Each structure stands twice: as C-alpha cells, then as structure tokens.
Amino acid sequence: MSGRTGKVCPWWWGFSLLLPWRKWVQGQDPVKILGPYIKEGMTVLEPGPGMGYFTLEAARLVGSEGRVVAVDLQPRMLQALRRRAQQAGLLERIEIRQAKSDRELGIEDLQGKVDFILVFFMAHEVPDQDQFFRDLFRAAKPGCRFLIAEPPFHVKRKDFEATLVIAQSRGFKMDGPLPIQSSYSALLFKE
C-alpha cells in the first residue's frame, strides 16, 4: 500500500499498537516524542488516537488544567481508549469523540483553540486530506504546532511529501523534518 489508502486500520489491530515493542524496537516513545511540544494547560487535538498509545501520555503532559481531544471513527477504538484512560486515572483530561464520518471530524467548536495537533500513522487513511487539513487549521490557534508522522511500511516518501504539500496549502508552515524512528515525520505550525 502507498499513499492514501482510504482504508481504516481495523479496531482489533489497535491492541498490537499498544505493545511495548513499539517503544523499544520502533523507538516510538510517547514521552520523548510529545514532551518537547506539550506543556501543562494546553489543548491537544489527536485525530485517530486508536486505543490511546500517545493519548495517555499527552493527558499526563497537559496536566489537570489541560485537555486532550481524541477523535476516532471507530467506536471500539474509543471504548478501549476510554477504558485505558479510566484505569490510568486520566479520563477527566481526555475528551473522547466519535468522528461524524470518515470525512468530517466534528471539531467545529474547537476553532482557534488548539495548541498542539498530533496526527500519527493515520493521515494516509483520510479520504479527503484537503478537507482534513482545512479542519485542523481552523482548530489551531496561532502558534499551534502540528506533528505528523506516517508509517514507511504503508506510505511511500513521495506520498508523505505530497501530504505535507496539502497541509501547507491549507495554511500550515513547515518547521522541518523530525527524527522519529520508523516513520516519515515532520513538524508544522500555524503562524
């Protein structure tokens, strides 16, 4: 597979994304990846959180005054995320939402309120990236950082670069590539 697949990761695959090998073998440690960008009191938007591999750490980082808005299309992913957040004592910091459709996140109320956006290994699943990035840009406040990463086992580099062009056409500015192991990744921002 390469580029936009339009296929959503099946809910049951979400369990494998929580395994420790992701942190140790793939080098995708949520603390190291998110720590430089998320501060206490922030509002974080995470479309496609799955079962919350990054969500729980983001909730710890925003502290009791911040919040993480996690939006997913699949109810079973969100159920697992809710259960994990509750067990970790972080549920009050996480606003769990089901996307209206594969083309509409349902985040209109966040316009200009988001400090940080995380799109990790899911942009290739979005059928209308132009609309997706338009919605994210509207939600972002000035100065918002936007970390995007895609899996090289699903997405070719040229397709990732095309995705970045779409994000920039919607208003995001490129900050630069990020050295996140086992991924194509970049940091963008809203002026």
Top pLDDT among 10 and 148 is at: 148
Q: Do 159 and 190 belong to one domain?
A: yes
Q: Do 93 and 124 belong to one domain?
A: no
Residue 161 resides in a domain? yes
User: Per-residue pLDDT tens for 26-54?
Assistant: 568 899 999 999 999 999 999 999 889 89
Residue 25 resides in a domain? no
Q: Give the N- to C-terminal CA distance of the chain in Å, as an integer.
A: 34
User: Per-residue pLDDT tens for 91-132?
Assistant: 999 999 999 876 789 999 999 999 999 999 999 989 999 999
Residue 154's CB: how many other CB atoms inside 10 A?
Answer: 16
CATH number of domain containing 163: 3.40.50.150
Domain count, the chain: 2
Helices (H), 72-175: 75-87, 129-139, 157-169
User: Per-residue pLDDT tens for 51-89?
Assistant: 898 999 999 999 999 999 999 998 988 999 999 999 999
- In terms of residue numbers, what domain contains 186? 107-191
C-alpha span between 24 and 40 (Å, rounded) = 26
pTM (two decimals): 0.88
Q: Do 159 and 126 belong to one domain?
A: yes
